[in-house]
Amino acid sequence: MARVLRGRAWKYGDNVDTDAIIPARYLNVSTPEALAEHCMEDIDAGFVEKVQAGDMIVGGANFGCGSSREHAPLALKGAGVSCVIASSFARIFFRNAIDIGLLILECPEAVEGTETGQVLEVDLEQGTVTNLDTGQTFQAEPYPPFLMGIIEAGGLIPYTRAKLEE
Amino acid sequence: MGQTIAEKILAAHTAGSVAPGKLVEVQVDMVLANDITAPISIREFAKLGVDKVFDTNKVALVPDHFAPNKDIKAAEQCKVLREFARRYGIANYWEVGRMGIEHVLLPEQGLVLPGDVVVGADSHTCTYGAVGAFATGMGSTDIAVAMATGSIWMKVPDTIRIVYRGQRQPWVGGKDLILYTIGLIGVEGARYQAIEFAGSAVAALPMSGRFTMSNMAIEAGGKAGLFVVDKATRGYLDGRASRSWTAYDADPDAAYARVIEIDVSEIEPQVAFPHLPSNARPVSEAGTIQIDQVVIGSCTNGRWDDLVEAASVLGGRRVHDDVRCVVIPGTQEIYLRAVREGLAEAFVEAGAVFSTPTCGPCLGGHMGVLAAGERCVSTTNRNFVGRMGHVESKVYLAGPAVAAASAIAGRIVGPEEVLN
């Protein structure tokens, strides 16, 4: 995983639910590529055309609330989103993102200090988010060491596989 | 320091001590996935390099969301489920014709019991808190790991205790209590937390109403929604449970993140307006909302008592000319009983659809998808933008009595308005 990520921000409000990230009517498929075609379409029609690889989602409180569908972080990953920064995350979305290796950061200050279109730089080593348009740097909530282990391994499957092989 | 129900159950399933906020490795008693989530679990399971599930009796696979297969892609996903179940000898797989909506089916089959830890790749797995199980939803990859290893990491949640007192008004059930509660604490009011539903008013609630309340704990962001095991629980489990179980109650000196007291005597039947379950208000304050569709069913309100309540309003009356009313029993057992005891006839004579079990319309899948601008009163659990169909459709959440009454009136009303 790259240690420093850079991308444009797409900002949304509080309670972005999993039906907004990937509507249930498209859950008859499960690959990131197929899901990405409809990512965010009910709250931001045309998102898929606008988003570029490496871009970041900035959300408010309770990001990813609603269903347990892993299709939500998969759709974001498939659409090229490199990182989600939110004031807080719904717990199942949080797990799912860690499990599949989609980077997420909890940082209300960065959310406050970011507008759509601004360019953000995330330093994984430092756990910081820098808004390159304003020059402001924000410190994100650090991960517990156990979760960092899953992230470093690239997700729960490689992490578990390594553990099973021990 | 005393412990909450959630802490006690997790402590019994992990090697070390537990405390809120601690990350622990938890042994699981049942692992669940459905036709939407299992295909990803199965794909990830294959990457783990194992050749069996941890226990063929402790995995449940239910084709219920887009089943009976709604289209070719759904058929392919159900096929993945079926083939995995056969190949790995999964004991708890139900084919269409025997299956039900997972969270109605598993308790009915006695597969989730007090004191169990249950994880499911479905957010409404928390339903089983009604029988005193610590049950929580996760994603497909977590479930793949749990299927392979029989354990999963969890953060021990702290607990909110919600104490309900007083006498319920007529037509107020579990759905009204939980919608009122979510309206009070908000859609993230219990984020990362377990809820204990307590007090004399929920002790007086039948199991069906408790399932409804636990089911929607997730709609407040909750990780689990637990009830203490009592006489009603034991009555429900009698004849269903085929293994031993342990009932846990909270210690009197358990530490809670928050204690909320609710006087239920003030609560009217509730309706949650679009587009959040927390937009709850009394049905008397709904105003004039014309509707196009009513759905009665789902993992929230597809149980026998729910159908009886709906039939008590719909029976001998007619669904409004401008309304499609879709009634969906939660399982084949409920379906058959509805046929035998005349409920099916009452629904059909009223001009309603009476369907085989499926999650279908709740998530805009099939069996009642909404067009642009349409409004639906639904006994399901989510009213997010586009949840039941077109992005410009609207979902109003309510209990079976309000849903049935609204189907007759053609607009959102309480049952008393059509019965009087």
Give the one of A19, A24, A165 whose C-beta lies nearest to B365's C-beta.
A24
| Residue B393 domain flag | yes
Could you tell me if B348 and B214 lie in one domain? Answer: no
pLDDT band (50, 70, 90) for residue B199: very high
Could you tell me if B285 and B346 lie in one domain? Answer: yes
B194 and A CB contact within 8 Å: no
d(CA B124, CA B65): 13
Section B203-227 average pLDDT: 98
Domain that residue A146 falls in: 4-165
Q: How many domains does chain A have?
A: 1
Lowest model confidence (mean pLDDT) among A2-6, A151-155, B268-272: A2-6
Nearest CA-CA partner of B77 in B33, B119, B143: B33
A35 and B CB contact within 8 Å: no
Could you tell me if B196 and B146 lie in one domain? Answer: yes
**pLDDT at position B40 over 60:** yes
pLDDT band (50, 70, 90) for residue B326: very high
Phi, psi angle pair for B271, to nearest 5°: -135, 130
Residue of A nearest to B384 (CA): A19
The pLDDT value recorded for residue B32 is: 98
Domain end residue (candidates: B230, B261, B292):
B261
Section B265-270 average pLDDT: 97
Could you tell me if B160 and B32 lie in one domain? Answer: yes
CB contact under 8 A, A96 and B141: yes
Structure token pair of residue A58: 């900035």
Could you tell me if B391 and B249 lie in one domain? Answer: no
Residues B412, B289: contact at Cβ < 8 Å? Answer: yes
What is the pLDDT of chain A when averaged over all its residues?
A: 95
The pLDDT value recorded for residue B364 is: 96
CB contact under 8 A, A65 and B385: no
Chain Cα centroid distance, residue B56:
24
Could you tell me if B257 and B279 lie in one domain? Answer: no
A70 and B CB contact within 8 Å: yes
Q: How many domains does chain B have?
A: 2
**pLDDT at position B19 over 80:** yes
3-state secondary structure B287-341: CCCECCEEEECHHHHCCHHHHHHHHHHHCCCCCCCCCEEEECCCCHHHHHHHHHC
Nearest CA-CA partner of A12 in A44, A42, A35, A39: A44
Give the one of B43, B137, B145 whose C-beta lies nearest to A68's C-beta.
B137
Domain end residue (candidates: B196, B230, B261):
B261
**For position B297, which CATH number holds?**
3.30.499.10
| Residue B45 domain flag | yes
Section B349-354 average pLDDT: 98
Helix (H) or strand (E) holding B151: strand B151-155
d(CA A150, CA B304): 43
pLDDT band (50, 70, 90) for residue B302: very high
**pLDDT tens string B233-251:** 999 999 999 999 999 999 9
Could you tell me if B71 and B205 lie in one domain? Answer: yes
Could you tell me if B369 and B413 lie in one domain? Answer: yes
Q: What is the DSSP letter of B266?
A: G
Residue of B nearest to A99 (CA): B141
Give the one of A42, A62, A155 whose C-beta lies nearest to B188's C-beta.
A62
Give the one of B47, B142, B365 whose C-beta lies nearest to A99's C-beta.
B142
Could you tell me if B83 and B229 lie in one domain? Answer: yes
Which residue of A16, A28, A143, A151 is the best one to mutate when testing the B interface, meaning the one whose CB has the most B CBs within 10 A?
A28
Domain that residue B400 falls in: 271-419
Helix (H) or strand (E) holding A5: strand A4-11
Could you tell me if B285 and B311 lie in one domain? Answer: yes
| Residue B338 domain flag | yes
Q: Which residues in chain B touch residue A30, judged by CB atoms under 8 angstroms apart?
A: 39-40, 43, 77
B156 and A CB contact within 8 Å: no
Q: What is the DSSP letter of B169?
A: P
**Angstrom distances, CA of residue B133 to CA of B13, B223, B260:** 12, 12, 22
Could you tell me if B301 and B236 lie in one domain? Answer: no
| Residue B248 domain flag | yes
The label of the residue with tokens 């358990």 reads: B254
**pLDDT tens string A16-75:** 999 999 999 999 999 999 999 999 999 999 999 999 999 999 999 999 999 999 999 999
Domain end residue (candidates: B234, B261, B288):
B261
**pLDDT tens string B50-104:** 999 999 999 999 999 999 999 999 999 999 999 999 999 999 999 999 999 999 9
3 state SS of A88: coil
Section A76-95 average pLDDT: 97
How many Cβ atoms sit within 10 Å of the Cβ of residue B193? Answer: 24
CB contact under 8 A, B40 and A70: yes
| Residue B266 domain flag | no
| Residue B220 domain flag | yes
d(CA B417, CA B420): 6
d(CA B331, CA B102): 9
Q: What is the β-pairing status of strands A4-11 and A56-59?
A: parallel
Q: Which residues contact B31 (CB under 8 A, 6 or more apart)?
A: B58, B59, B60, B118, B119, B120, B143, B146, B147, B150
Which residue of A160, A163, A165, A166 is the best one to mutate when testing the B interface, meaning the one whose CB has the most B CBs within 10 A?
A160
| Residue B118 domain flag | yes
Could you tell me if B283 and B371 lie in one domain? Answer: yes
CB contact under 8 A, A28 and B138: no
**For position A39, which CATH number holds?**
3.20.19.10
For the whole model, what pTM was predicted?
0.97
The pLDDT value recorded for residue A142 is: 87
Section A102-131 average pLDDT: 96
pLDDT band (50, 70, 90) for residue A1: low
The pLDDT value recorded for residue B57 is: 98
Q: Which residues in chain B touch residue A34, judged by CB atoms under 8 angstroms apart?
A: none
Give the one of A28, A95, A161 whose C-beta lies nearest to B73's C-beta.
A28
Give the one of B65, B142, B384 whose C-beta lies nearest to A19's C-beta.
B384
